[in-house]
Structure 1
Amino acid sequence: MTASNSTLNQTSTMNDIEQFESGNSLWHDAWVRLRKNKLALVSLFVLIFIGVICLLTPWIAPYGYEQQDLALGASAPSAAHWFGTDTLGRDLLTRVMYGGRVSLAVGLIATAVALTIGVTWGAIAGYTGGRVDAIMMRLVDIIYALPFMIFIVLLMVVFGRSLLLLFLAIGAVEWLTMARIVRGQVQTIRQLEFVEAAISIGLSKAAIIRRHIIPNALGPVIVYTTLTIPNVMLLEAFLSFLGLGIQPPESSWGVLIANGVESMEEYPWLLIFPGLALSIVLFSLNFLGDGLRDALDVRASKD
């Protein structure tokens, strides 16, 4: 009986040690807290669903992208055309699906450009400090002072209108806040013990920034990224509304909304459906960003 109890105690002790050694990472704890936020979780699934639909659009769209029926003209939603048709007789559901591909691509790619520039710039400035930090952040302040809309318009006038230039132009003005956020995080992280240990064993500044600084600053970066994507999508929609964004025959939610505004009194569905699609994505991204902010809050893990 004593031997059996001793064996059980040893087994229990070994399990406790293994559980202690394995522990729970910050990302595991963040996922557990995120799952408790029902609104953020629903928003995540909505975004995944819309993303999959837009990705599969060429194979599941009910009509061709440029397929016209001039005799039909602008018709209200029906069994044949769930979202109705536009003034050229094109199926609006199909155009909303294709427009979603462009709008989401602009949001993701332009945000990736802003993320790459902002994280790199902020990490170097924050870790190096001194005169280098002062010069780099003064450049950020100078660019901040420029009207970003005029900056984008000048880029597109000088280099011409193209989808790739639109990605780069929007990303080139959205990285500034990211750089400031990362710089503040890096200035805090560089004073921690594990960074001093990395310095003591002779790691280069580039290696310390890449292996230790940036990975530990990813929490706020991820949260701000989810908030940058809707800002970028709204900026693209605004540029398209002004005629400076996506050009025909391509379309985006911003272009569809701009077209819908012109005939909203006669054909309100041309504005309602693309506006609803854009609103759902923007709300979902904001709710997900709020959920990630709470989930990645280190103080929440101590409660």
Structure 2
Amino acid sequence: MSVKTLSPELLESEKGRSLTQDAIARLKKNKMAMLGLFVILFMVAIALLTPWIAPYSYEEQNLDLGASAPSADHWLGTDTLGRDQLTRIMYGSRISLMVGFIATAVALTIGVLWGAIAGFVGGRVDAVMMRIVDALYALPFTIFIILLTVIFGSSMLLLFLAIGAVEWLTMARIVRGQVLTIKRQEFVEAAISMGLSPWRIITRHLIPNVLGPVIVYTTLTIPSVILLESFLSFLGLGIQPPASSWGSLISGGVETMEEYPWLLIFPGLVLTITLFSLNFLGDGLRDALDPRASKD
């Protein structure tokens, strides 16, 4: 009796693909999402390499030059103190992206744990925890930041904590809703019947199964955090001189936009491109991780 052999391609098709591989394949087909991913990776690389590739020193001034239009020596022009605008935008990317990623990580950690515990425990614990979320939602964020600044002084660490302490609220609601849906499924009931501790069930069974919506919302939270930091810097509540972020550069550009429009146009353009790229990536991840799409 002859034995039929299968080609490597057929063997691969017989094995099939995991859900993660399917999601990656769908993401690669989304051109806007891949473009957004490329832009974000490029921005991160620029931020990391800025001390070595910046054309000028961050604090280098040329008062005789003053604010000059873009030229061969200064591609994006200089500010009123004669500092190279390209260099300041590159250094500003380090702070803006760091605020975006670190504050989002703080919000992610608090929100996921808070929502998972509230959804799994339920009852009065759930009611109390979510009423706390509702109460924090009612607080005016700007006044909250002003109070923290007056009491503790302005610092980058305070900015991270303040933004992260507010952005986790929506994450907690999303995770709680997902946990309420899956905690009645068989694998969770099996884990409970085996006597696993609630903490182990939450961290090993519930949280890994809500990572799809969490990842999507994380990519959408980063641009909102960057925009929020820019707004606070615009009001003078964010990054303080001599450090600068995209928001503080935009704030300085607004004051002189009639005389020196390039001081507003270029940092605003970089911020806009970054925010659009993150939103494109978030939309692509949402489509790629959509369970309904895996059935197509």
TM-score w.r.t. the length of structure 1 is 0.94
CA root-mean-square deviation: 1.6
Task: Give unmatched runs, 5+ long, in structure 1.
Answer: none
- Hey, what's the Cα distance between the residues in 2 that align with 1:18 and 1:257? 52
Q: Determine whether 1:184 maps to 2:184.
A: no
Task: Give unmatched runs, 5+ long, in structure 2.
Answer: none
The correspondence of residues 264-275 of structure 1 with structure 2, limited to 5 A, is 264-275=257-268
**Displacement of 1:24 after TM fit?**
2.3
Q: Which amino acid aligns with 1:7?
A: V
Match of 2:232 among 236, 239, 244: 239
Instruction: Provide the residue aligned with 1:38 in structure 2.
Output: 31
| Structure 1 residues 302 and 149: CA distance shift in structure 2, 3 A | same
Counting matched residue pairs gives 296
**Displacement of 1:14 after TM fit?**
11
Q: Which amino acid aligns with 1:206?
A: W
Match of 2:291 among 274, 280, 298: 298
Q: Determine whether 1:59 maps to 2:52.
A: yes
- Hey, what's the Cα distance between the residues in 2 that align with 1:15 and 1:282? 41
Match of 1:115 among 105, 108, 133: 108
**Displacement of 1:116 after TM fit?**
0.5
> In the TM superposition, what whole-angstrom CA distance separates every residue of 1:65-101 from its partner, at most 9, and x where no partner exists?
0000111000000110000000000000000000010
- Hey, what's the Cα distance between the residues in 2 that align with 1:136 and 1:200? 26
**Displacement of 1:12 after TM fit?**
3.8
Q: Determine whether 1:213 maps to 2:206.
A: yes
- Hey, what's the Cα distance between the residues in 2 that align with 1:56 and 1:147? 37
Which of structures 1 and 2 has the bigger CA Rg? 1
152-161 or 107-116: bigger deviation:
152-161
Instruction: Provide the residue aligned with 1:100 in structure 2.
Output: 93
- Hey, what's the Cα distance between the residues in 2 that align with 1:48 and 1:144? 33
- Hey, what's the Cα distance between the residues in 2 that align with 1:121 and 1:233? 23
**Displacement of 1:18 after TM fit?**
8.1
Q: Which amino acid aligns with 1:98?
A: Y
> In the TM superposition, what whole-angstrom CA distance separates every residue of 1:141-177 from its partner, at most 9, and x where no partner exists?
1111111221122112111100011000000011000
| Structure 1 residues 7 and 62: CA distance shift in structure 2, 3 A | same
Identity of aligned residues (%): 74
**3-state SS in 1 of match to 2:97:** helix
